[in-house]
Amino acid sequence: MTSERPSTGPSARVRRNRAIAGALAVAVVTAALAGTVWWAAKPTPNDTVAPVASASPSSSPSLAPTPQPEKPKAFFNRSARSIDDPASTWVVNNKLRPLAPIDYAPADLVQANVPGSAPMRAEAAAAMEQMFAAASAEAGLTLVVQNAYRSYATQVSLHDRLVGQLGRERARAQSAMPGYSEHQTGLTADIMAANGACTIQECFATTPEGLWLVENAWRFGYHLRYPQGATDVTGYIFEPWHYRYVGLDLAAELRATGTPTLEEFFGLPPAPDYPPGV
């Protein structure tokens, strides 16, 4: 008869059960800690996640970033300035809206320091100088003013000469009547390329100078006054050379909202022709 060895510790089954229970406890604690860390790192609605910048080793620096349209303001005060006062940079004159007085002359005309003949109002002249300098620095382009301010008397002489050459109706289609021309405000310029390509022609829109202006003029407070496809609104054919100073705020708002004409922006009636009797 053999004798049994006295037990000196827990059985193998007990030890195994204790090991399993310990492993489960560790797993539970680990999961709980991981959940706590995840919850603490979870972004809240007020957190801002910074974008990760990427760089292309093959890209080369540019002179200036491509301008992007500004976002429309939540509220733009369209009555902040007069559209009737000829001294206002927001004045709207067209074939239904002559200047008042009809022989208005700006009091602050200066000669803009740019190539070409450029008498303009002081604010418009300063902006024109900045725009021409940017075209040169950013794109290597030389812009020239072909025509800017024209007085009432000059417009009378020009219009009468055209009437004699072309007849009344054709002259009215090609040149504004005295008192109805934007050039009389001192806020407008006809711009051309230094090489003379497509001067006062629709093809100016396809030149490097025309393409740069249509994308950048708003940055300096200028607006393409007679855009393509808007003749029934403005009364004039597409004139990609004709830029009107309206100020930085209005130019940016026109760009941001995609509004092509001042008439549409201010809710004015279309002005395809002069009223009867004019």
pLDDT digits over 104-124, tens only? 999 999 999 999 988 999 999
Element (H, E) at 121: strand 119-121
Q: Which amino acid makes up residue 101?
A: P
How many residues would you count in the chain? 278
Question: Cα–Cα distance between 180 and 139 in angstroms, integer?
Answer: 35
- Provide the pLDDT confidence category of residue 277 given band limits of 50, 70 and 90: confident
For residue 150, with 0-12 CB atoms within 10 Å meaning exposed, 13-18 middle and 19 or more buried, which class applies? buried
pLDDT at 172 > cutoff 70: yes
Q: Locate tokens 């200028």: which residue? A: 222
- What are 234-255's pLDDT values in tens digits? 999 999 999 999 999 999 999 9
Catalytic annotation present for 239: yes
Phi, psi of 146 (to 5 degrees): -85, -35
Of 4, 138, 202, 239, which residue is the catalytic one? 239
pTM score of the predicted model: 0.74
Q: Which amino acid makes up residue 33?
A: L
Q: Which fold has domain 109-265?
A: Muramoyl-pentapeptide Carboxypeptidase; domain 2 (3.30.1380)
Within 13 A of 116's CA, how many CA atoms are on the CB side?
22
For residue 172, give the DSSP letter.
Answer: H
Q: Which residues pair with 244 in a beta bridge?
A: 188, 223
pLDDT of residue 143: 98
**Average predicted confidence (pLDDT) for the chain:** 83
Domain limits, the chain: 109-265
Find, among 228, 213, 219, the residue nearest to 251 by Cα.
219
pLDDT of residue 19: 54
